Amino acid sequence: MASELSPSMTTPTPVPEAATGAPAYKPRYIDIGINLADPIFRGKHHGTQRHPDDLSAVVSRAQEVGCTKLIVTGSDFTSSREALEIAKQYPGTVYTTAGIHPCSSAIFSSANKHEDTDGHTMPCDPDPSAPIPVDHEPDHEKTQKIIADLRQLIENAHAQSGDGPGSLVAFGEFGLDYDRLHYCSRKIQLHSFAAQLDLVLSLKPQLPLFLHSRAAHADFVALLKEKFGDKLERLERGGVVHSFTGTAEEMRELMDLGLYIGTNGCSFKTAENCAVVQEIHLDRLMLETDGPWCEVRPSHEGWRLLVEQMKKEQQQQQQQLPLSESTTPGTSTPSSSAAATADSATPSANGSGAATPNGQKPSQQQQSQRKGKKPQKKEPEIPERWKTVKKEKWVEGAMIKGRNEPCMIERVSKIVAAIKGVSEEEVCEAAWKNTVQVFGLDESA
Binding site for Zn ion (CB under 5 A): 212, 243
Nearer to Zn ion, 51 or 217 (CB): 217
Nearer to Zn ion, 243 or 267 (CB): 243
Q: Shortest Cβ distance from residue 289 to Zn ion (Å)?
A: 12
Handedness of CA 266, 268, 270, 272 (dihedral sign): positive
Q: Shortest Cβ distance from residue 243 to Zn ion (Å)?
A: 5
Q: Shortest Cβ distance from residue 98 to Zn ion (Å)?
A: 14
Cα–Cα distance, 299 to 296 (Å, whole number):
8
Nearer to Zn ion, 238 or 291 (CB): 291
Q: Shortest Cβ distance from residue 218 to Zn ion (Å)?
A: 18
Nearer to Zn ion, 105 or 243 (CB): 243
Nearer to Zn ion, 206 or 267 (CB): 267
Nearest to 243 by CA among 310, 176, 167: 176
Q: Shortest Cβ distance from residue 109 to Zn ion (Å)?
A: 20
Nearer to Zn ion, 189 or 243 (CB): 243
Nearer to Zn ion, 153 or 176 (CB): 176
Q: Shortest Cβ distance from residue 244 to Zn ion (Å)?
A: 10
Nearer to Zn ion, 51 or 212 (CB): 212
Nearer to Zn ion, 75 or 336 (CB): 75
Taking CB positions, which residue lies at the least distance from Zn ion?
212
Q: Shortest Cβ distance from residue 75 to Zn ion (Å)?
A: 8
Q: Shortest Cβ distance from residue 208 to Zn ion (Å)?
A: 16
Nearer to Zn ion, 243 or 336 (CB): 243
Q: Shortest Cβ distance from residue 311 to Zn ion (Å)?
A: 32
User: Under a CB-based contact definition with an 8 Å cutoff, are residues 208 and 238 in contact?
Assistant: yes
3-state secondary structure the chain: CCCCCCHHHHCCCCCCECCCCCECCCCCEEEEEECCCCHHHHCEECCEECCCCCHHHHHHHHHHHCEEEEEECCCCHHHHHHHHHHHHHCCCCEEEEECCCHHHHHHHECCCCCCCCCCCCCCCCCCCCCCCCCCCCECHHHHHHHHHHHHHHHHHHHHHCCCCCCCEEEEEEEEEECCCCCCCCHHHHHHHHHHHHHHHHHCCCCCCEEEEEECCHHHHHHHHHHHHCCCCCCCCCCEEEECCCCCHHHHHHHHHCCCEEEECHHHHCCHHHHHHHHCCCHHHEEECCCCCCCCCCCCCHHHHHHHHHHHHHHHHHHHHCCHHHHCCCCCCCCCCCCCCCCHHHCHHHHCCCCCCCCCCCCCHHHHHHHHCCCCCCCCCCCCCCCCEECHHHCCCCCEECCCCCHHHHHHHHHHHHHHHCCCHHHHHHHHHHHHHHHHCCCCCC
Q: Shortest Cβ distance from residue 411 to Zn ion (Å)?
A: 19
